[in-house]
Amino acid sequence: MIIRRTRLTILGRVQGVGFRPHVWHVVKNHGLSGFVKNTGEGVVVELQGDSAALAACLRALQQHLPPLARLDSIKEEALPLQAEEQNFEIKSSSGKTTHAYIPADIATCPNCLAELFDHSNRRYRYPFINCTDCGPRYSITHALPYDREETSMAAFAQCPSCLEEYSNPETRRFHAEPNACPACGPRLNLTDRFGQALKGDATAGALQILKMGRSIAMKGLGGFHLVCDATREDAVMRIRGQKKRQGKPLAVMVLNIAAARRLCHISSEEAALLASRERPIVLLKKREDTDSLLPGVAPELASLGVMLPYTPQQWMLFHEALGRPTDPSWMEEPCEQVWVMTSANPSGEPIVTGNREARERLNQLADVFLLHNRNIVAPCDDSVVAIDNGQALFYRRARGYAPDPLPLISSGPAILALGAQYKNTICILRGQEAFVSPHIGDLDQTLNCEALEASTHHLLELTDVTPAAIACDLDPSHYASQLAEDMAKHYRVPLLHIQHHHAHIASVLAEHGHSGEVLGLALDAFGLGEDGKTWGGELMQIRGGQFELLGQLAPLPLPGGLRTIREPWLMATALLFAMGEKDEAQRRFGRQPAWPAIVAQLEIPFQLQDSSSMALWFSAIAGLAGIFDKQRFDNEALQRLEELAQDCAPLLNGWQINGTQLDLKPVCRHLMTLLHDATLIASVWHATLAAALADWVCRAAATRKIDTVALSGGCCTNRKLMGALLSRLEAAGIKVLRARQLPPNDGGISLGQAWVARQRLQNDRQPADRP
């Protein structure tokens, strides 16, 4: 027998996921001594014993992981023997953060659910039940290492029963930092708008309010939801009026997959995503009678955002609505109860997290408040995901996913990138990891700007990063760019301005670990170009941290400025004028009150701003199709046209490539003759656009001798367009890279900014702008 001692330094998702008790069990089974502890790097394990047992233990540690754990690397180091050591123990944490990270919040696990509805269990109907396999993590954590004193649970001292579980490696709650029970943990309470507590069981009282057609503001994991009965049109319309959200679809929560199938067509991939531990909102195709079952929830749209319960509190609301059944089968049986579950914030503002803040900001939105006294440290909205060609397509990446890091192919200096003006996120590069924050929002609101600052400081604290450079958008008018300049001065580091659509493409390259030359096709709304114009439809070639512009969509005029995109009749008028069809424009839109002012602008085109934006073309086509005059929410034209489109052949000669410019006016002339046949217009438009874009890319690929293209930008959430384009490009032998772990919209830009900044800093190919 050969006795030796070794130290294992384990990096990955190994804190807050029950990894130390997992190590304890495995080591005990192999008869070794030593210790395990959390450190700033991750987890350190020292093992001593028979050499063969050590080898077997190391294999077992890697083969049988806790559900939430992920191992990125294990470094082994030989140590001198410690003759006096007899046992294996779990030691207290030590060290500052260097490689560790906190996992995302995770939905309640089956074991906790079984206890939650077991009459004999001391946590029966306790809305904060959790264990090492589930519950809050990111949203309650101030700093690492992940110990209770670094979370908002530090305010709740554990009772003897909880402390015994917490200290016993044999239990599921061994070192479960949010561990609590009714005797010692957070509590629910129901109050009116004035903060007066309402008597009785809080969940039962909330249900009675919902049955009356009223709404509640319910505090959850990462913020508040505004909740009402989705089957009552009066309740839905009250929420719409209160949030000033007349047309934008509302998300709903149902009990299980069986309940979701009553409302939507669901594939096996969609069902798995709905029931995953991340529990995102999943965009699903409605059934024919869904709008009659849920009047006013997602009007005039073919899809519905659906999620399943992910907190004990949400499960309890369904349990209460069903009369508190005792047979566990209720969790799997069809259920007709559907709740609207939308972010509880005034339109455009950040999600609400604090109790006092909720009463101040939501006083006119909710009738009562279902509160708890566990503080939310980090706001985290619901993620929004769809299934596209069998894979996840993110529209918003937040709860359940963020801030889990994305692996990078190489290491480099630490970078902080502050993202875009809209759908803002931030990104921190630390070694071979990219930490992208949860969705923050649009920075045209003061509260969102404050949320950006708070999120930036919190993520810097969690990652223990001092940036070597800061990256931001090229547009200096963006709040994120202004904050970046201030932070660069504070840290005395370089500030790098990254062009918007270059960052879109770079985000995809970083995600896929692609380091060679590549074509990039950015199909987006607006971003400042290097020529000072507004871009949004660019074909480029990427080399390292640099790009070369190869071509753009033919620009369209913007009468009324950037607001034109929100009013399809305006954009259709601009398109018709650009085609020399003033009379046709007047016939269609001459009755619009703003017609004379718009015509006055269009008749002096050299004074007008124009843009190569892809989203502008979609807005113009929606106007030609007569779908609506004004968009009610962001990208409505893109979504409505996508849902209307059916498979058809592209229009022959429906586009022109003039030098470096792709002109889509030929297909628009044809669409103009289809006389408001919206389905036919949408179908021909999608088929022809996909063919035109493929032709454009293939010509550039042949000329540049490049066989890979990255697609990104907000219009790449259009699954109909992407499917047709992907088929054509792959048939031509071109490899296509798309965003899969981040949204292709502006929510993914911060990663691209950071990636380009690191490339430039490492290669020193372009001088940075010194603040």
Q: Averaged over 289-316, what is the pLDDT? A: 97
Whether pLDDT at 770 is above 80: no
Tens of pLDDT, residues 377-391: 999 999 999 999 999
Is the peptide bond prior to 145 cis by the omega test (within 30 degrees of 0)? yes
- Give the CA angle between residues 174, 135, 388 to the nearest 5°: 135
Residue 415 pairs with which residues in a beta bridge?
Answer: 429, 469
In the 8-state DSSP scheme, what is residue 17? S
Share of the chain above pLDDT 90, in %: 84
Is the peptide bond prior to 413 cis by the omega test (within 30 degrees of 0)? no
Share of the chain above pLDDT 70, in %: 98
Q: Which pLDDT value is given to residue 490? A: 97
Q: CA 55 to CA 560: how far, in whole Å? A: 70
Q: Averaged over 186-211, what is the pLDDT? A: 96
Q: Which pLDDT value is given to residue 96? A: 59
Identify which of 571, 665, 662 has the alpha carbon closest to the alpha carbon of residue 624: 571
Q: Which pLDDT value is given to residue 98? A: 58
Query: Hey, how many other C-beta atoms are within 10 angstroms of the C-beta on 595?
Result: 16
pLDDT confidence bin for 405, thresholds 50/70/90 = very high
Are 536 and 527 contacting, i.e. CB atoms less than 8 angstroms apart? yes
pLDDT confidence bin for 289, thresholds 50/70/90 = very high
Amino acid occupying residue 417 = A
Q: Which pLDDT value is given to residue 771? A: 42
Q: Averaged over 392-400, what is the pLDDT? A: 97
Amino acid occupying residue 236 = V
pLDDT confidence bin for 768, thresholds 50/70/90 = very low
pLDDT confidence bin for 277, thresholds 50/70/90 = very high
- The three-class DSSP label of residue 735 is strand
Whether pLDDT at 205 is above 50: yes
Q: Averaged over 86-92, what is the pLDDT? A: 88
Compute the mean pLDDT over every residue in the chain, rounded to the nearest whole number: 94
Q: CA 22 to CA 476: how far, in whole Å? A: 50
Range with the lowest mean pLDDT among 276-280, 523-527, 687-691, 764-768? 764-768
DSSP class per residue in 627-675:
S-SS-SSTTHHHHHHHHH----PPPTT--EEETTEEE-HHHHHHHHTTT
pLDDT confidence bin for 83, thresholds 50/70/90 = confident
Residues 6+ apart with CB under 8 A from 421: 442, 443, 444, 473, 475, 478, 479, 480, 746
Q: Which pLDDT value is given to residue 585? A: 95
Tokens of 340: 């609207």
Amino acid occupying residue 577 = F
CB neighbour class for 217 (10 Å; exposed up to 12, middle 13-18, buried from 19): buried
Tens of pLDDT, residues 312-363: 999 999 999 999 999 999 999 999 999 999 999 887 889 999 999 999 999 9
Tens of pLDDT, residues 716-765: 999 999 999 999 999 999 999 999 999 999 999 999 999 999 999 998 64
Q: CA 297 to CA 264: how far, in whole Å? A: 14
Q: Which pLDDT value is given to residue 124? A: 98
Range with the lowest mean pLDDT among 104-108, 383-387, 505-509, 671-675? 671-675
Q: Averaged over 580-608, what is the pLDDT? A: 91
In the 8-state DSSP scheme, what is residue 492? T
Whether pLDDT at 194 is above 60: yes
Q: Which pLDDT value is given to residue 95? A: 61
Tens of pLDDT, residues 9-48: 998 888 878 888 889 989 999 999 999 998 877 899 999 9
Q: CA 140 to CA 34: how far, in whole Å? A: 31
Residues 6+ apart with CB under 8 A from 768: 469, 494, 495, 496, 760, 761
Residue 11 pairs with which residues in a beta bridge?
Answer: 73
Identify which of 538, 513, 517, 539 has the alpha carbon closest to the alpha carbon of residue 527: 538
Tens of pLDDT, residues 213-262: 999 999 999 999 999 999 999 999 999 988 877 788 999 999 999 999 99
Residue 189 pairs with which residues in a beta bridge?
Answer: 371
Whether pLDDT at 565 is above 90: no
Q: CA 365 to CA 346: how far, in whole Å? A: 8
Whether pLDDT at 512 is above 80: yes
Q: CA 727 to CA 694: how far, in whole Å? A: 9
Tens of pLDDT, residues 647-681: 999 999 999 999 999 999 999 999 999 987 999 99
Q: CA 344 to CA 350: how far, in whole Å? A: 9
Distances (CA, A) of 116 to 172, 255, 667: 14, 16, 59
